[in-house]
Structure 1
Amino acid sequence: MAAAAQALSGAGLLLAAAALALLAVAIGTDSWYETDARRHRERCRGFGHKRSDPPGSMSAPGSHLPLRARPPRALLPGRPPAPAPAAATAALDSHCGRRFNSTVSGLWRRCHRAGYEPDSEELIRKGVIQRCTAVKYHYTSSSLPRNLPINITNTIRQDEWHALHLRRMTAGFIGMAVSIILFGWIIGVLGCCKQQELMQYVAGLLFLMGGTCCIISLCTCVAGINFELSRYPRYVYGLPEDISHGYGWSMFCAWGGLGLTLLAGFLCTLAPSLNTSRASVQKPRQENGAV
C-alpha cells in the first residue's frame, strides 16, 4: 500500500509539473485567438474599394454573425436577371472601407501573422508599423471612434469597461492558478521526501484549487472573446463572414494544463487514503494480540 501511495503521489507531482509547463507556455505565447483575413482582402481587392483605415492597422474583432443577403428570385423566361440587392452591396462596401488584417492575440500582445499579408510585411520591415501592439489593461478614451452620437459613444464606453474587466479577470485568475499550483507542488515534494501524508493531501487540495482558478480564467477569456465579437454598433465592430477566426494552440495548452492539474489533484488527494486504509486494517490485529 505504501508503495502504491508513493507512486500515486509521484505521478501527481509529475502531472502538476507538466501542467505548470503548459500554463507557462500559454501565458508566454500569443496564439490564444487567431484571425485570417486573406480571403476577405482578396474579395475587397476584386470589389475595387479603397480602404479608409491606415495601412497595417489591426481592426478590432466584431460580430461573428454572418451578413446574409436575400436569395435570388427564380428567373422567368424572357425576363432579365434582377440586379444585386442594394443592401448586400452596401454591406460589402462598408466592410471593405475598413482594413482587416490577419492577427494573433494573447494575454499581453496582439500581432500581425507572419507571412500572411505581403503589404503589411513590407511596412513592418520599413518600420512604418509594429508587428505587435500591447493589450491594454487600463482604460483609455483614445480608442473610442469619433464623430458618433452621444448615446452610441456611451454604449461603446460601457462595453470597453466591461471588456477591460474580463481581460483583467482572465490574466489575474490564471496568475493565481500558476501560483497556487507551484506552491502545492513544493509542498507535495516536501511531503514525499519526509513521508508526510498530510502535506501530500494539502498539495492535492491546492492543485484542485489552482484548477478552479484556471477554469475561471479560461471561462472569462472565452466570454471576453464572445463579447468582443458581439459589440455594438455592428458597423464599427462588425466582422465579415469571410474572415475565419478561432482559438489558437496557446488556448489549447491552457486547457491541457487545466486537465493535468485536476488529475494531479485527484491523485495526490487519493494517495494518503491508501495508507489510512492499511492502518485501519492493522489496528484490530494489534488489539487482538494484546488481549
Structure 2
Amino acid sequence: MRSWNMATMRILTASGLFLAFCALGLLAIAISTDYWYETDARRHRERCKKYASKRNDPGYIYISNQNLPLRMRPKGGDVARMASTSGTLLRTKRDLLPFTSAMESRCSRRFNSTATGLWRKCHREGFDQDNEDLIFKGLLRRCTAVKYYYSSSNVPRNLPVNITNTIQQDEWHALHLQRMTAGFIGMAVSIIMFGWIIGVLGCCKHNELMQYVAGLLFLMGGTCCIISLCTCVAGINFELSRYPRYLYGLPEDISHGYGWSMFSAWGGLGLTLLAGFLCTLAPSLHSPQTTTVHKPRQENGMV
C-alpha cells in the first residue's frame, strides 16, 4: 500500500511539473506575440470607398433607400407634436439626419485593421493594400510601441475644457489598466518559474514540503495571471466606451475581438491552476512511517 502511494505521489508531482512547464511556454508565447486584440476594418473601408466614388455631378441625384419615401422636413411645431411617442421621435430624428451626412461623419475618421499586444500595435498584413504600399515604401511603420507612460500628445487639440479634462482622466485610467496587465502577468511568469525550480529540487531530494510549496506557488502565479487577464479585458472594454464616442468608439461594420495570444494566456492560466492542484495533492498521499516505542517495565520501583 505504501509503495502504491509513493508511485501515485511521484506521478502526480511529475504531471504537475510538466503542466507547469507547458503553462510557462504558453504564457511566454502570449507575452511575446501581438495578437491579444484584433480589429478588421475591411468592410468599413469598402463602404467608405463606395460612398466616395459615387457620382456627384449636378445631373445625378443620389437617393438612399433609408430615406424613402421622400418627405419634407417637419416644422418646429410638428416636431414637438410628434415627440409624444418614442417611436415617432426616432423616425423624426432619422429624417432630420440625412444618410449622406451620417456616412461622412463615419468616413471622416480613418480606421485600420490592427493587432494589438502588450508591447506593440501593428497593422495586419494583407488587410489594406494602401497601407501595404506605404509600409513597402518606408512611409509607414508596420508596428508602433505601446506607451506605458502618460503623453499629452494622445489628447486631441481644439476641444472644450471639460472634454479635455475627461480625456486626460481616461488616459490615466487606461494607462493604469495597461500597467496592471503587463505587471501581473510578469509576476505570474516569475512565480511559476520559481515554483517549478523548487518542485524539481523537491523531486530530486524526495522532499514533500518543497513539492507542496511548489504547488502553492503555482496557485499564486495563477492568481496573478487571473488579475492580469481580467484587467486586460477591462482595459479593452474601457477603451471602447470612452467619451466622446466619435473619437474612441468603433463603427458597427468594424469587426473586433480577442486574438489567439489572449487564448494562449488563458490556456496557460488553466494549466497553471491544474499543476498547482496536483502538486499540493501529491504530498497528502504520503503516509509517514510510524514507529512504536516500547517503554521498559518497572521492576521493584526501578525503571
With normalisation by structure 1, the TM-score equals 0.85
2-side partners of 1:105 and 1:288: how far apart?
67
Give the partner amino acid of 1:184.
G
2-side partners of 1:26 and 1:108: how far apart?
11
Aligned to 2:61: none
Aligned to 1:4: 8
Rg: which structure is higher?
A: 2
Q: For the structure 1 residues 237 and 127, does the alpha-carbon distance in structure 2 shift closer, same or farther, using more than 3 Å as the test?
A: same
Deviation at 1:90, TM superposition (A): 3.0
Give the partner amino acid of 2:109.
R
Structure 2 runs not aligned, ≥5 long: 54-64, 73-93, 297-303
Deviation at 1:95, TM superposition (A): 1.5
Q: 2:255 aligns with which of 244, 247, 266?
A: 244
Aligned to 1:260: 271
Q: Is 1:33 matched with 2:37? A: yes
Deviation at 1:158, TM superposition (A): 0.3
Q: For the structure 1 residues 178 and 87, does the alpha-carbon distance in structure 2 shift closer, same or farther, using more than 3 Å as the test?
A: farther
Structure 1 runs not aligned, ≥5 long: 50-70
Q: Is 1:173 matched with 2:184? A: yes
Aligned to 2:199: 188
1-side partners of 2:33 and 2:161: how far apart?
38
Q: Which contiguous aligned blocks of 4+ residues in structure 1 show a shift greater than 4 angstroms?
A: 80-84, 288-291
Deviation at 1:91, TM superposition (A): 3.1
Q: 1:287 aligns with which of 276, 287, 292?
A: 292
Give the partner amino acid of 2:116.
S
Give the partner amino acid of 1:161.
W
Aligned to 1:233: 244
- Identity among equivalent positions (%) equals 72
What per-residue deviation string (whole Å, max 9, x for no partner) do you get for residues 160-203 of structure 1? 00000000000000000000000000000000000000000000
Q: What SS is found at the alignment partner of 2:38? A: strand
Aligned to 1:22: 26
What per-residue deviation string (whole Å, max 9, x for no partner) do you get for residues 50-77 of structure 1? xxxxxxxxxxxxxxxxxxxxx969x8xx
Superposition RMSD on alpha carbons, in Å?
2.2
What does 1:211-230 align with in structure 2 at a 5 Å threshold? 211-230=222-241
Deviation at 1:288, TM superposition (A): 9.3
1-side partners of 2:255 and 2:66: how far apart?
25
Aligned to 1:64: none
Q: For the structure 1 residues 225 and 44, does the alpha-carbon distance in structure 2 shift closer, same or farther, using more than 3 Å as the test?
A: same
| Stretch moving more, 91-100 or 37-46 | 91-100
2-side partners of 1:15 and 1:271: how far apart?
14
Deviation at 1:2, TM superposition (A): 0.5
Aligned to 1:92: 103
2-side partners of 1:141 and 1:131: how far apart?
23
2-side partners of 1:82 and 1:179: how far apart?
67
2-side partners of 1:203 and 1:269: how far apart?
8
Aligned to 2:112: 101
Deviation at 1:155, TM superposition (A): 0.3
